[in-house]
Chain A
């Protein structure tokens, strides 16, 4: 018997077709309905669930009442165990969190949710890396890597995982998109966290760049090997956020702050999750007689839009970058990530026009142990 937690955010995506570019917040939902929006999320969630019908006899399906899963499950011909309760008036992020929490407690093998980036964040807040999670893409904003390529692909992958045909999981990014800025056609994305997602590139990353070559893990390791091998004695290394820089910390056998900046010198952790003030203080102390720079910054672009500075790593402020020196900023990225960036460009938005200008242009990016790319920073 396998156990599946199934959560539908029925309001996900309603802002999309009426041009609201999102569905976060009660006011947006109200306006969307005024503009004639209809809930498409339940139908797409149902499409995914149909693929699980063959597993019926061995499946314990835990879900929430009404449109949060019960109705979709019944429509797909499955017999769900319905947990909790929701208000008749409508559902909210709090319901998603409560559902995820109860399912986590009951020990599901996989949590399948339908929604967008906002729903993914709610799920992440509760489950972290404790349960494998897979997203059915039904929201307006699908920038996180935790979603299958299509509802049908989500169902297929969930089935393969529950059957044991797919056993590996990948840590994929949950993105935090500033919806208010997005409505003004400005994309502000930062890494919010990572979820463990069943690994099947054809089904999870279908429409994005995907290859069948070296696995993402192996690529991250080979990038880390290069960076660590090039490390010089006495130099401060400011290791930025994200899973690719984390590989460096793992290679050094040091603890890592996924969403923060850690500082390393001579293979030792000097500061964890450092603030801008911490970084400036460390740079003050750094020996000035060191040939070249006393410090290097190692950063990777945020998936999707490719910001290397100014999104989620404001600790690496213009002042910090200036002190380290633009020439000592080392950029690292897997080729999968570069391939997925719009026209393979990276972006900077430090808030300081001079620093941004100095960072712009064609820059080398480490993409493997003996491999780099030349990418334009704009």
Chain B
């Protein structure tokens, strides 16, 4: 069934905010949508004392005779004085509980999630799950001898060569488990490089841009670097003179995203990297936004010494809910010696782990990282081929241009700040600033209202909000024209509602699993308990915890 089969009637009667245009206008809208709303108690509030989900069979006499009391085998210091507070509940009730929760979750397989820009949401082919979850993969042990894991080492090695080809760089590590960790790894390599050159103490500044992803400033800050942040001019990116004003003998490196989340590609990027090299700094390319330039432009030709890919975004491995990720890191040959240990190598006959890297930054993750992500990414690339990868980017850009055209021509109150007539690549950052001024409805209100039309994915912006009331969609290559039309139609409808019936939008969602939450306490920082430590510091107690705990 295609979206065209749905709701040809123009929506359920009594649907809020019916558009003035009538049935034809509603072609792609699911006005009759309503999410499951189970009002499900938390698991700890369910069940009853003594209720069990699994009752283990009693120990057989022979085994007991051989090993004695199994409880006595556990060292006393590892035994709890009191049993843990676990729910006591039987299997069917557990199953029902989690099924209900899952029904209230609008996951990537049930909604059009192209609104979650910069995350490169795309279809993750289900066949790749069979590979990643097959016992051949899932049952591997990271301490198995190399000769028994030649298959996965071969895949890691082959895919490593592909990543090097796509980036133009020479050596690779799949150890970082996220994009931020990949950027952290690159910042660490920059530090190790300058330390090896005896300049570790004097080169203490990292340059980035305000639109680069937050990890490009946060991870060098964690490493002790001072940050210099460049702000954009009218074009949407900083200019060379500005960069030069930031460069000095103190420059350790440049960490930059390009295209940034505005979707704008800085065409002067090679001049930027040249200028950084001229003062002795290194250039690290945050390629979380690779999806618009894959197979078209490479890190090497842009002058970068290091880069990272998000295999869980661009290369289709599923992500979200902090699932396993991989921030693959690629570097120039002379920086290989600093990569996390070990590296997967081949002598032409067999594959092996090279742990002989005395200058390595060390480990950023255990073993080789999340290899099931590498496995899915490899399968995905093999299904596309080199030409296919380029086609991915071209399609993603075409999809984005189409969505942008619809949004810019049809949606009231929405603007495109910075170089509005310059083409964007795979995503675009819009502003609802005008809508907010004219109706009081801002980006967070729009985000909540689209839930009522059966989509939940929406991205405003990373911090800080440079664009007022930001909105950043990214229709990757796997969305159909009908998907994009439906999403555009929803955004148009919500904007029209904001002008016609602002209260309807301001109080949304109305048809989601949960009503609108009051988030104002989140801004009361002294009322927010984010960690157990804060809980302890504030001297808070749960009602059933003894005061001396």
Which residues on A are within 8 Å of B, measured CB to CB?
A: 149-153, 160, 165-168, 199-202, 206-213, 215, 335-336, 338-339, 343-344, 361-364, 367-368, 370-376
Contact = CB atoms under 8 A, between A and B. Distances in A.
A149 B440 contact: yes
B241 interface: yes
Nearest to B440: A150
Interface stretch (B152-160, B226-234, B273-281): B226-234
A209 B463 CA distance: 10
Given A202-B523, A344-B232, 16 more contacts: A149-B442, A150-B439, A152-B506, A166-B523, A168-B525, A199-B524, A206-B442, A207-B437, A207-B442, A339-B231, A339-B464, A370-B225, A372-B229, A373-B231, A374-B242, A376-B233
A367 B440 contact: no
Contacts of B100: none
B16 interface: no
The 4 closest A-B pairs by CB, nearest first: A150-B440, A362-B245, A344-B231, A211-B464
B465 A210 contact: yes
Interface centre among B221, B246, B442, B523, by most A CB within 10 Å?
A: B523
Contact of A207 (B227, B245, B436): B436
B436 A372 contact: no
Interface of B: 210, 217, 221, 225-234, 238, 241-246, 433, 436-437, 439-440, 442, 444, 463-466, 468-469, 502, 506, 518-525
B237 to A, nearest CB: 12
Interface centre among A201, A207, A370, A376, by most B CB within 10 Å?
A: A207
Contacts of A150: 436-437, 439-440
A368 B228 CA distance: 10
A150 B227 CA distance: 35
Contacts of B225: 370
A208 B442 CA distance: 11
Given A207-B437, A362-B242, A371-B229, A212 B442 contact: no
Contacts of A211: 463-465
A208 B217 CA distance: 23
Contacts of A210: 464-465
Contact of B464 (A336, A361, A375): A336
B498 to A, nearest CB: 11
Contact of B230 (A206, A212, A335, A374): A374
A370 B227 contact: yes
Interface centre among B228, B229, B439, by most A CB within 10 Å?
A: B229
A212 B525 CA distance: 11
B242 A207 contact: no
Nearest to A367: B229
A168 B524 contact: yes
Contacts of A362: 241-242, 244-246
A344 B238 CA distance: 11
A166 B520 contact: yes
A338 B238 CA distance: 14
Given A165-B521, A336-B464, A362-B242, A373 B440 contact: no
Nearest to A212: B463
Nearest to A166: B520
Given A206-B442, A339-B210, A213 B463 contact: yes
B63 to A, nearest CB: 57
Contacts of A212: 463, 522-523
Given A207-B437, A338-B231, A362-B241, A202 B463 contact: no
Contact of B468 (A168, A207, A372): A207
Nearest to B234: A343
B524 A166 contact: yes
A208 B231 contact: no
B245 A361 contact: yes
14 contacts: A151-B440, A152-B440, A160-B518, A201-B523, A209-B468, A343-B232, A344-B210, A362-B245, A363-B245, A364-B228, A367-B229, A372-B229, A374-B228, A374-B243
A149 B436 CA distance: 8
B538 to A, nearest CB: 15
A368 B524 CA distance: 22
A212 B466 CA distance: 12
A306 to B, nearest CB: 12
